[in-house]
Structure 1
Amino acid sequence: MLAVGGVLVGSAIGSAWVLLIRRIEDQTLIVTSATLLCWAAYLAGEAIHVSGVIATVTAGLIFGWYQHVTMSARVRLQGSAFWRTMIFSLEALVFILIGFSLRSIVERAGGIEAVTTTMAAPLVGIILAVIGARFVYVFASDGLLRLLRRLGVKRARPLGGAQATVLAWTGMRGVVTLAVALTLPEQMPGRDLMLIAGFAVILVTVLVQGGSLGRLIKGVGLEDRDSLPPMSLAEAEAAIARAKLQAAEARAYDSDGQLIHPQLLDMYQSRARATERYAREPDGFMKGIQTHFEVMLAAIATGRAELIRLHREGQIEDEVLHDLERDLDLEELGILFQRGEQLDLR
């Protein structure tokens, strides 16, 4: 009931946030509200005595699903940099807290030897149960997918024995496990064992399962047997370019049929033709376009150097520097994305 209640509370808080965020225009307020969403879900769950951690995770899933349609590009860029730093800090803090908790547990138990003597057997059982439960869940789910496939459900795609084995073995535990253990009341019977069990599960799953994952993949002969999706990346880009061109064509003429935006129309037509060619022959197209990107990046670097020179000489104010530098940064990111570089903006 604790987990089910946490899901219900997290769903309610996440849904309320989605409705609220559509009415907020200030991007700083949007980032702040998204950050406070997890705290609201956790406090609401704990207030009615259900799992606050599960409520937080559920609200986060809803946030991740709807952020693409509720947030602007500027908000996502601003928020991703802030959230990445915040997540790193909070995860480090959780591990520090569990370290402090383990030290006090060891002292209360009479030393590390006493802990290993009295808790070794239960910890081994818990670790095996956690790993075994994931195998049961994964293979049972795969069996259900096989049944649905036989019944004619085309979207049901069974994993197969090799893929299911690898997926089951990747059940590494992390900060959520520690967070759940730390939320237990201090007066709760067996809390010390639960904290050590959480730490042991993380230690074993990360080191043993994570360290052996590569050898397991080679051992089972894992192959990607999934059928390719109907559209490739290049074809999806071509479809987006055609949609943009249709919107530009619909707005490029006035009510009398006179062309009023010839340059914009020409730009979108050129992009549509380029993406169509890229979809037909991506390798050949990218070889020729690389020099084009290099010229654009060189121009941006020169523009940035000129901007800094103007600021250093006192010809522009700080606000102008920040605004123009942001524009150059966004322009550079766009080029790097088009060039195919994998940028980590989380």
Structure 2
Amino acid sequence: MTHILIFMVAGVALVLAVELVAHRTKLPAAALLTVCGLIYATLPGTNIVLDPHVILTFILPPLLYSAALNSSLIAIGKNLRPVISLSVGLVLATALLVGFGVHLFLPAISLAAGIALGAAVSPPDPVAALAIGRRAGLPPKLITLIEGEGLLNDATALTTFTVAVAAATSGGFSVGLFGFKFLVAAVGGLAVGIVIALLIRLLRSRISDPLMVNSLSLITPFAAYLLGEEIHVSGVLAVVVAGLIIGHDTPRFSSGASRLQTSAVWRLVDFLLEGFVFILIGQQLPAVVKGLGAYSTSDIVVAVAVTLAVVLLLRPVWLLVTQFLPRRLHTRLGGTSAAESPLNGREVLVMSWSGTRGVITLAAIFSLPLLTSDGTPFPGRDLLLLCSYVVVLVTLIGQGVTFAPIVRATGLKADAAAEALERNEARTAAANAGLSRLAQMTEDEHLPSDSVDSLRTNLEHRLERYQRRADVLESARNGEIPVSPEYEAALAARRSVIDAQREELLRRRDLGHLSDASLRVLERELDLEEFTLPRRH
């Protein structure tokens, strides 16, 4: 127990240190943490061996749920065809092609065992790609595709993996049975996610305390996952569906205080869990290589080469085929919206290089049983572990490090000015709605005139500020937000005023004229005011 505690403390320190290095060097933190884990694995001492049940039960649900909360149900719906193509079609194609390829070159590994390997290596883990893509300013459409694929592909892959392992251990594989079990797991997971989301909506409508809302949020992914697994459907899909619906409903059913607190907690959970996961990936090297003595070098090279080739080559081929060939078909079906329009060549290149694998691949492959139902060793288990581990390292480190340069080379970038203008227009509409409500309240209720005048003046000043900002944004070129000296000076002045107020509060506390409890209340007011200001770049 002591060595686990030491590992956790050292792990948090390492995650913090690597994040600082990543910010300075612009290298992906995921790749750096994995390399640190690899280095640690070669040192003398105890390594923490990955427990697949811990990963699938305690690590995967909160990570998926948090990603779903921050995704857009509407955006995924607009891009549903490409998301389904990547998260279901490509995953199944990868699993089958890897399975047939490995079985063809290494007949000792059964087809079902090969498909289990293919299912394990098929789902990309979008954490690293999204972190790099957001920093590089990828367009929202590509961010949505990467997010949507990452949310749904785990359910497809794990369901396929479970069915394939069952076939490998029992000695038979039926396409019809596989399709039936997959359909039941998917439909059941979807239903469980909807039920959990509706239950949480009902509970949140009766809870107003932010701490209770936050506690409810933390247990939701585990409830969805465990319920799904208990009734033998996809717990992973249940978590994703629940997160998407709850995230969509949150602005309507939660208070501002609850949203601020819940958002902060989930950011911390993501930061720590993702950091530990990548360190853990690197540490699995000894566990992977210890059983390879029974295999010839040629068998190892062939198995790894086939698996890597399918994973790296099938993705761009799939994107090219599904994006470029069906254009005439899309037109015949009534055309496509801007969100659903086929990807161009640069977008296909970026999407092809965003398929980094991660902990789901290792959690799945480590859960392979040691023995089949008749007591014989599971065919090629150690070799399958190596293939999966190499795929994770090559994609996570190789693609992770080179992803940002490729994004920059393509010139793809979000239209920052258009996004800022969209937000500015929404602020203007909200302020006008506030003025309309104020006018209605003035007619229907007896409100103090000084309060009405103060509120009206505040809203009118906002509208003037938004109009000036709109004029600046509409003059933008190449999607870059123009630098407005007046706007920047106004922001600096507002920050300076907040800093002066904080300093005065601290001075009064130090002199004994203000209690610490009162200081915290007043500081929170200033913190919330500062939080509304645009972030410094």
Q: What TM-score, normalized to structure 2?
A: 0.54
- C-alpha separation between the residues in 2 aligned to 1:291 and 1:222? 31
Farther-moved stretch of structure 1 (277-286 vs 298-307):
277-286
SS at match of 2:290: helix
> Is this contact kept in 1: 2:208–2:255, CA < 8 A?
no
1:313 corresponds to: 511
The alignment status of 1:249 with 2:430, answered yes or no, reads: no
- C-alpha separation between the residues in 2 aligned to 1:333 and 1:44? 38
- C-alpha separation between the residues in 1 aligned to 2:249 and 2:369? 34
> CA distance change for structure 1 residues 307 and 183 in 2, over 3 Å: closer, same or farther?
farther
Amino acid at match of 1:45: G
Superposition deviation, residue 100 in structure 1:
5.4
Amino acid at match of 2:301: A
Which of 455, 473, 488 aligns to 1:290? It is: 488
Amino acid at match of 1:68: P
SS at match of 1:261: helix
Superposition deviation, residue 216 in structure 1:
4.4
> CA distance change for structure 1 residues 256 and 108 in 2, over 3 Å: closer, same or farther?
closer
The alignment status of 1:126 with 2:310, answered yes or no, reads: no
- C-alpha separation between the residues in 1 aligned to 2:397 and 2:357? 10
Amino acid at match of 2:440: A
The alignment status of 1:199 with 2:389, answered yes or no, reads: yes
Matches for 1:162-241 after TM superposition, within 5 Å: 162-182=346-366, 189=378, 192-214=382-404, 216-217=406-407, 232-241=422-431
Structure 1, gaps ≥5 residues long:
none
Amino acid at match of 2:235: G
> CA distance change for structure 1 residues 108 and 329 in 2, over 3 Å: closer, same or farther?
same
> Is this contact kept in 2: 1:45–1:51, CA < 8 A?
yes
Amino acid at match of 1:172: T
- C-alpha separation between the residues in 2 aligned to 1:267 and 1:285? 25
- C-alpha separation between the residues in 1 aligned to 2:507 and 2:210? 30
1:270 corresponds to: 461
Amino acid at match of 1:138: L
Task: Summarize deviations over 1:100-136 as a string: whole Å, max 9, x none.
Answer: 554234334449xx69665432233223323344335
Farther-moved stretch of structure 1 (262-271 vs 166-175):
166-175
- C-alpha separation between the residues in 2 aligned to 1:54 and 1:191? 27
2:245 corresponds to: 62
SS at match of 2:228: helix
Task: Summarize deviations over 1:160-201 as a string: whole Å, max 9, x none.
Answer: 233223222212223443444455556573654554444322
The alignment status of 1:261 with 2:452, answered yes or no, reads: yes
1:161 corresponds to: 345
> CA distance change for structure 1 residues 245 and 88 in 2, over 3 Å: closer, same or farther?
same
Task: Summarize deviations over 1:63-113 as a string: whole Å, max 9, x none.
Answer: 4333333333222221222222222322334345545554234334449xx
Amino acid at match of 1:207: I
Superposition deviation, residue 266 in structure 1:
1.6
> CA distance change for structure 1 residues 181 and 249 in 2, over 3 Å: closer, same or farther?
farther
> Is this contact kept in 2: 1:241–1:272, CA < 8 A?
yes
- C-alpha separation between the residues in 2 aligned to 1:98 and 1:214? 22
> Is this contact kept in 2: 1:149–1:157, CA < 8 A?
no
The alignment status of 1:331 with 2:512, answered yes or no, reads: no
> CA distance change for structure 1 residues 297 and 224 in 2, over 3 Å: closer, same or farther?
closer
> CA distance change for structure 1 residues 273 and 60 in 2, over 3 Å: closer, same or farther?
same
Superposition deviation, residue 327 in structure 1:
0.8
Structure 2, gaps ≥5 residues long:
1-180, 373-377, 476-481
- C-alpha separation between the residues in 2 aligned to 1:119 and 1:333? 54
- C-alpha separation between the residues in 2 aligned to 1:28 and 1:319? 19
Task: Summarize deviations over 1:132-175 as a string: whole Å, max 9, x none.
Answer: 44335434542556632454334142222332232222122234
> Is this contact kept in 1: 2:289–2:386, CA < 8 A?
no
Farther-moved stretch of structure 1 (93-102 vs 16-25):
93-102
> Is this contact kept in 1: 2:209–2:258, CA < 8 A?
no
Task: Summarize deviations over 1:239-268 as a string: whole Å, max 9, x none.
Answer: 333223222332244557995611111211
Matches for 1:81-120 after TM superposition, within 5 Å: 81-98=264-281, 101-110=284-293, 118-120=299-301
- C-alpha separation between the residues in 2 aligned to 1:191 and 1:57? 30
Task: Summarize deviations over 1:13-62 as a string: whole Å, max 9, x none.
Answer: 33432333232212112112111112112222322233433433343333
User: Number of matched residues?
Assistant: 335
> CA distance change for structure 1 residues 72 and 207 in 2, over 3 Å: closer, same or farther?
same
Q: What TM-score, normalized to structure 1?
A: 0.79
Structure with more relative contact order (C-alpha pairs < 8 Å, separation 6 or more):
2
1:148 corresponds to: 330
Amino acid at match of 1:199: Y
